Amino acid sequence: MKTTGGSDAAKRRAGERAAERAEDGFVVGLGTGSTTAYAIDALGRAIDDGLEIRGIPTSFQSRQTALEASVPLTTLEEVDGVDLAIDGADQVADDSTADAYGALIKGGGGAHTREKLVDAAADEFVVVADPSKLAPTLERSVPVEVIPDAYSVVSERVRELGGDPTLRAAECKDGPVVTDNGNLLLDCAFGSIDDPEGVASTLARVPGVLEHGLFVDLADITYVGTDDGVETREY
Ligand SMILES: O=C[C@H](O)[C@H](O)[C@H](O)COP(=O)(O)O
């Protein structure tokens, strides 16, 4: 389910640009994934140069990356708020004439539940992406985290809603992927999603769904790394 395709140089440029938004005293949400890892590394270098921030990781993976980069960590319960969140995306709606401009699909790495918690809490949510993530309309499968007892019932409900759910299978273990929260993932194909807000609110109401990977009206900025610079989208 992980997205690939963007160049490492493009991801690095986006991540490094986002890290520049961190200021002394900031609490920074640390997203998950290969693009955000470049931002966390850049934050680590800035901390070596004197920047004083604390990070809130959104997954086991982002915590590991932050520890390696020597980013001091905290938790949502220990802070009054989150100043900045930096996070990647699997797909970014990029038609500036559409209501869905800036909506995201996340969760290719199965981390979207904690990511949404932290990204939504932030005063500013900055998305880091490469051009392969941009699409006029969201169309990737939507990851849905479900409690284990619920996967068959939620699958049936998703089918009734016109979707095609697939239980995400692990690659190095027999059986399904188990999230950092001990749950399962359904990757739900809906085809072209013209109304992400509608799909998001419908999925959120299904019993057994912990969180889905549609992020609507949450992003403030997207930095799109390219092979020779960074493009900015503001919402
Ligand atoms: O669950 C994973 C996250 O939502 C990631 O932010 C997303 O999959 C993008 O990751 P990457 O930057 O590696 O493409």
What predicted TM-score, i.e. pTM, was given to this entire model? 0.97
75 is in which domain, residue-wise?
8-136+215-234
Enzyme catalytic residues: 115
Q: Is 3 inside any structural domain?
A: no
The CA-based angle 122-219-197, given to 5 degrees, is 115
According to DSSP, the residues that pair with 169 across neighbouring strands are 176
Tokens of 17: 């640009």
Asked whether residue 24 falls in the same domain as residue 89, the answer is: yes
Asked whether residue 56 falls in the same domain as residue 122, the answer is: yes
Protein residue closest via CA to atom 12 of ligand 1: 35
Give the position, in ligand 1's atom list, of the atom nearest the Cα of 143.
1
Asked whether residue 222 falls in the same domain as residue 207, the answer is: no
Contact between 130 and 14 (Cβ < 8 Å)? yes
Q: What is the CATH classification number for the domain harbouring 45?
A: 3.40.50.1360
**Rounded distance between C-alpha atoms, residue 126 and residue 221, angstroms:** 5
Query: What separation in Å is there between the alpha carbon of 215 and the centre of ligand 1?
Result: 13
Asked whether residue 86 falls in the same domain as residue 146, the answer is: no
How far, rounded to the nearest angstrom, does the alpha carbon of residue 73 sit from its chain's CA centroid?
19
Query: What separation in Å is there between the alpha carbon of 111 and the centre of ligand 1?
Result: 8
Question: What is the per-residue pLDDT for 15?
Answer: 98
Can you say which residues are annotated as belonging to the binding site for substrate?
32-35, 87-90, 106-109, 133
Q: What is the CATH classification number for the domain harbouring 149?
A: 3.30.70.260
How far, rounded to the nearest angstrom, does the alpha carbon of residue 89 sit from its chain's CA centroid?
5
Helix, strand, coil percent values for the chain (each to nearest 5): 30, 30, 40
Question: What is the per-residue pLDDT for 4?
Answer: 54
User: Which residues are CB-contacts of 185 (< 8 A; sequence separation ≥ 6)?
Assistant: 1, 107, 110, 143, 144, 145, 146, 167, 168, 176, 177, 179
Asked whether residue 189 falls in the same domain as residue 230, the answer is: no
Asked whether residue 170 falls in the same domain as residue 85, the answer is: no
Question: What is the per-residue pLDDT for 108?
Answer: 98
For the chain, give the percent of residues with pLDDT over 90: 97
Q: Is 1 inside any structural domain?
A: no
Mutate to test the pocket of ligand 1, among 35, 92, 215, 224 (most ligand atoms within 8 A of CB): 35
Question: What is the per-residue pLDDT for 6?
Answer: 78
Q: Is 105 inside any structural domain?
A: yes
Asked whether residue 220 falls in the same domain as residue 121, the answer is: yes
Q: Which of these, 180, 182, 199, lies nearest to 191 by C-alpha position?
A: 199
What is the count of structural domains for the chain? 2
- First CA to last CA across the chain, in angstroms? 27
| Cβ neighbour number for residue 49 with a 10 Å cutoff | 6
ipTM, two decimals? 0.99
| Per-residue pLDDT reduced to its tens digit, 79-135 | 999 999 999 999 999 999 999 999 999 999 999 999 999 999 999 999 999 999 999
Query: What separation in Å is there between the alpha carbon of 109 and the centre of ligand 1?
Result: 6
Asked whether residue 65 falls in the same domain as residue 78, the answer is: yes
Asked whether residue 65 falls in the same domain as residue 83, the answer is: yes
Q: Is 201 inside any structural domain?
A: yes
Mutate to test the pocket of ligand 1, among 112, 119, 140, 222 (most ligand atoms within 8 A of CB): 112
Query: What separation in Å is there between the alpha carbon of 3 and the centre of ligand 1?
Result: 7
* pLDDT < 70 positions in the chain: 1-5
Rounded-to-10 torsion of CA 202, 95, 220, 72: 90
